[in-house]
Chain A
Amino acid sequence: MNLTPLVEAGWINALMPELLLCVGGMLLILIDAFAPKSRSVLSAIAVIILVATVWVERAIPGGLFFGGTYQISEITQLFDMTFLLAAILATLFAGDYLQREGIDGGEFYALLMWGTVGLMMMAKGLDLLIVILGLELVSICIFVLVGYHRRLVIANEASLKYFLMGAFATGFILYGTALFYGATQSTNLTAMAQWFATNDAAANPMLTVAFVLLMAGLGFKLALAPFHGWAPDVYQGAPSPVAGWLSVAPKAATLIALARIFYAMSPALPHVQWMKMVTALSVLSMIVGNAVAIVQRDLKRMLAYSGIAHVGYMMIAMITLRDDSVAAIAIYTIVYALMNIGAFGVVSLLSKNQNDPQTLDDIAGLFWRRPFQGFAMTICMFSLSGLPPTAGFMSKFYIFKNAIESGHTAIALTGIITSIVSVYYYLRVVYFMFMKDATEATPGTDSGVFATGAMAISILGIIGIGLFPGPLFRIAGQAASEIFR
């Protein structure tokens, strides 16, 4: 192993976004500690820091850092933008929400930012250890964020559940990584790629064990069936903006890391049966997620199962493993951030006793009571179900197109049929909003400036990408070719 050149010139510029977020998070905690009266502006400060990070992100130089373990390129920039978008949307929704719930605090935004730093590390890591470090950083932030409603029983339950199961999953990932190291003498993905290109992977059964362990651990983080059991409970207990963020950002980071691992292994894949397992996970997720979502009346649980199905769709791109698979995943995650955090954000506006489930009845007549919230939710639902002219259609179309072009027609057919099923439950939300009459007990709050802004970003993003997907496709297509450069 080559340990000599640990620090390259210009590393501080390259790490600027991460550093900015780390320092910004600390700043928010300090402001909260020394000037508790200024709590109401914390979310505004957080948004400013995040937007500033977006601005910095655009300017950072590309290249490899820290001995070839940390890659900065167009694709990592694109994924960083996705994480920042998710964080901005979650922060905008959280500002009003936390104040309403009386649990406002600087550490909330700080944790969100540090979690984003972890995600950036996962997306940039060319070494499995960096990926695991990032993953742990995110997980620790998530444990706290999920249980942020600390007086609520379901929040504590959710946090504990995620902690215990997440710890197990990390164990699996570490064990799998250790076995990979044992077989290939490296945790560096570039070195692993060389090993896979020159050695026969099928000859070593230890690799299969390593792959299974790795997939189980990462499958947990992705909420892929059958590792999805935690998702509905955790989403239900977590504050709604956190649930939205949690359902998108960590999945995006895990997917890019997984894509890197798969590309590293790609010479070996035709000779081993691993892809069959991934296919099974994808198909199972699409079926389980969509089938179980039908019977959910709790909005957050329904979105959790829909999320399981969506990861199943994203995994189709992983199965095809073409040149533009990463582009398809990048586009899908951006779109998913817009529509899923938007949907969770609207749910967060249905304020009431958070221990109670937030059921479909709570959004009855929402479109007529609060047209903008209802409209935002409608757009998110149509996009989630993949109907044109929304961004959800474009991203799903990309995935199915890839699948058919690479000869996976059967998987595409499964995706299409499960999509038909999914239309039913997304449409049911629309039906409650348009066609059910609200009662006295139906909850709801007027959205503040921030939440309205977040919904506007969602709507404009979904429709904008739905009508003019060309530029995003071009950017993602160019960026995807750089995944190993």
Chain B
Amino acid sequence: MILLLSSLIWIPIIAALVLALMPGSWVNAIKGIGLFVSAAMFVVSLGLVTGWREGFAGMQFPEELDWIPQWGIRYGLGVDGISLWLVLLTTLLTPVVFLASWNTIHKHPKAYVIAFLIMEAGTVGVFAATDLFLFYVFFELTLLPMYVIIGVWGGKNRIYAAVKFFLFTIAGSLLMLLGIIYLVFQHYHETQLISFTITDLYGTAANLSSYTQALLFFAFALAFAIKVPLFPLHTWLPDAHVEAPTGGSIILAGVMLKMGTYGFLRFVLPFFPEATAKYAGVLIALSVIGIIYGALVAWVQPDMKKLVAYSSVSHLGFCVLGIFALNQTSIEGSILQMVNHGLSTGALFLLVGVVYERRHTRLLADYGGLAETMPVYAVCFVIAMLSSVGLPGLNGFVGEFLILSGSFQTHPTAAILSATGVILAAIYLLWLIQRVFYGPITNEENRNVPEIAWNEIGALVPLFVFIVWIGVHPNTFLSRMSPSVQQLLSQVQHEREHKVLQARVGQPPALSGQAGELAIHGGAR
């Protein structure tokens, strides 16, 4: 029980090592082990929910171990309301990927399974790390398998896409590394304690000049904005998505982009409350542009996968808007929307992959009337589409509604402009459905497309279960995140007020971070 999070990270890695030693010809055994391990990890991760302490804001399931004591670096893991559902999303999507690609990966299946297992370990690590250094290590660790996944199993232009993806991300994260070191050094300067623990570093930036704060803010924000991706840093995303294999797209859209939005919540907001308040407008403006721009570009895409990719830019824009609107409703909506996007876009990528495997084209113009030949497939597609559009009763509606109503309180213009993104999403996705599934069959090749297979349906069912669950009873999810969000907001607020107070009285600030630390230790039981 205590080592729940560690087992989510290390069991996939151990499984990957074992697989590496197996002969590559045991294809089915290898795929089976991959599926079994990842499914088992999902079951294990459910323990996070069952053992959850309701109403507690700090880190739960904490694990602490000295890693590099000279530098105050610890192997610290824990989840709070912000990261809980993202960890679960990761463990859910990995078996989905294995199931969906059971019959479609013929090239180096062993390496494929290993890459996704390492990916899972790295992603859980990113969401669960409570040490900044450990977070950074996992953040970069996830790049390597994704680079290989896109580059080896991707489409025609895969090399270009893989290298672009890698260079964009690493450029941002290396600058963030500089910011991390600077922040830790500043903390050392103030307290004579060297520590990379996230809660220790809260409030460190408050004593810096506003210029330095702004530089640090942008060093962190840039890394996460590239990852999200925020307009105008999004150009790697369509390339990566179009070229990546189906499984790669699911993980990329489903969890990897969330590392960016998660980073904003976990680091940028609490580390730099002042700069956040100051520059929130910039990020909100960029996310609104992203929402509308992504939707408009998606509208004119002739390629289904590219359409879904651009819709991701638009949807992730909502998440960032929600975060920087800085109120309880919008941030909760934003976290929920991260999960929603992982479910619905994951399902859409999976479904596009299904038809691509059968027809080897993704152009909308090549399809038409598929509802006649593949009725079950059409139903699945429509459910995923409706979830993505935000039909009331399904998950997308809840997330978008919370974000928009929350941000309307603080930034009404941005909320109103973003609402057009919802309408545009309905337009381009319904347009997609109409052109692919309805009308007469114009292309004779579409007459004999085999129906969606059992393993693919099996992969979709868990996604649909959660899509409906979140839509009908979002409180299961919201109630577990709200204490943490509340604490985050009060901290951001507190820091800013503290600063104002300090400016007025002229007193040196008390060493902050104590609240967070108490929360961590309080979480141990």
The stretch of B165-173, B228-236, B359-367 in contact with A is B165-173
What's the Cα separation between A294 and B140 when bound, in Å?
22
Contact flag A434-B151 (CB < 8 Å), given A368-B108, A423-B170, A474-B70: yes
Residues A400 and B181 in contact, CB atoms below 8 Å apart = yes
What's the Cα separation between A389 and B66 when bound, in Å?
16
Contact flag A382-B144 (CB < 8 Å), given A416-B178, A434-B151: yes
Provide the residues of chain B in CB contact with A270, threshold 8 Å: none
Provide the residues of chain B in CB contact with A423, threshold 8 Å: 166-167, 170
Interface size for B (C-beta < 8 A) is: 33
Is A388 part of the binding interface, using a Cβ–Cβ cutoff of 8 Å? yes
Is B52 part of the binding interface, using a Cβ–Cβ cutoff of 8 Å? no
Is A352 part of the binding interface, using a Cβ–Cβ cutoff of 8 Å? no
Residues A434 and B167 in contact, CB atoms below 8 Å apart = no
Q: Which of A387, A400, A412, A424 contacts B140 (CB 8 A)?
A: A387
Provide the residues of chain B in CB contact with A413, threshold 8 Å: 178
Interface size for A (C-beta < 8 A) is: 31
Residues B152 and A409 in contact, CB atoms below 8 Å apart = no
B215 CB to nearest chain A CB (Å): 10
Query: Which of the listed residues B136, B178, B185 has the most CB atoms from chain A within 10 Å of its own CB?
Result: B178
Q: Which of B136, B148, B182 contacts A404 (CB 8 A)?
A: B182
Provide the residues of chain B in CB contact with A389, threshold 8 Å: 137, 141
A479 CB to nearest chain B CB (Å): 13
Provide the residues of chain A in CB contact with B241, threshold 8 Å: none
Residues A470 and B178 in contact, CB atoms below 8 Å apart = no
Provide the residues of chain A in CB contact with B166, threshold 8 Å: 423, 427
Provide the residues of chain B in CB contact with A393, threshold 8 Å: 137, 140
What's the Cα separation between A417 and B181 when bound, in Å?
15
Interface of B is mostly: helix
Is A440 part of the binding interface, using a Cβ–Cβ cutoff of 8 Å? no
Binary per-residue interface labels of chain A (458-485) against chain B in the complex, 1 for a CB within 8 Å, 0 otherwise: 0000000000011001100100000000
Provide the residues of chain B in CB contact with A473, threshold 8 Å: 68, 70-71
Residues A434 and B140 in contact, CB atoms below 8 Å apart = no
Residues A424 and B175 in contact, CB atoms below 8 Å apart = no
A378 CB to nearest chain B CB (Å): 9
Interface of A is mostly: helix
Contact flag A434-B152 (CB < 8 Å), given A419-B174, A423-B166: yes
Residues B170 and A420 in contact, CB atoms below 8 Å apart = yes
What's the Cα separation between A412 and B175 when bound, in Å?
10
Query: Which of the listed residues A393, A413, A416 has the most CB atoms from chain B within 10 Å of its own CB?
Result: A416
Residue in chain A with minimal CB distance to B183: A404
Contact flag A427-B70 (CB < 8 Å), given A401-B181, A404-B178: no
B55 CB to nearest chain A CB (Å): 36
What's the Cα separation between A405 and B70 when bound, in Å?
15
Is A196 part of the binding interface, using a Cβ–Cβ cutoff of 8 Å? no
Provide the residues of chain A in CB contact with B182, threshold 8 Å: 404, 409
What's the Cα separation between A342 and B227 when bound, in Å?
33
Residues A400 and B141 in contact, CB atoms below 8 Å apart = no
The stretch of B155-163, B292-300, B372-380 in contact with A is B155-163
Is B69 part of the binding interface, using a Cβ–Cβ cutoff of 8 Å? yes
B259 CB to nearest chain A CB (Å): 15
Residues A434 and B148 in contact, CB atoms below 8 Å apart = yes
Contact flag A405-B185 (CB < 8 Å), given A388-B137, A431-B159: yes
Chain B interface (Cβ < 8 Å from any Cβ of A):
66-71, 108, 136-137, 140-141, 143-144, 147-148, 151-152, 158-159, 162-163, 166-167, 170-171, 174-175, 177-178, 181-182, 185, 188
Known: A423-B166, A434-B148. 4 other contacts (CB 8 A): A387-B140, A409-B182, A435-B162, A477-B70
